[in-house]
Amino acid sequence: MVYLCVGGVLVFAGSGTSYFFAAHTGDQGGIAAYFFQLAVIAAYILMSVVLVGLNWYLLLRNSSAKNN
């Protein structure tokens, strides 16, 4: 649940910031919005990879604890 909330806030804030850059600063703002959106997407992917890895690790740890 926390993952969904943090992801939603991250995407919403990133999209809003990109929209602000694009709307208020002309061509340079459009470029800044593009790179900021890439940063938001990269952060979301990184968070997803970390959580999948953590989930995998915890599943392995729990299964080995049950076997002992």
Give residue-wise pLDDT tens across range 8-23.
777 777 777 777 777 7
* Segment 13-68, tens digit of pLDDT: 777 777 777 777 766 667 777 787 788 788 888 888 888 888 899 889 888 877 76
From the number of C-beta atoms within 10 Å of its C-beta (0-12, 13-18, 19+), residue 15 rates as middle
Q: How far apart are CA 4 and CA 6, in angstroms?
A: 6
Contacts of 25 (CB under 8 A, 6+ apart): 32
Q: pTM (2 decimals)?
A: 0.57
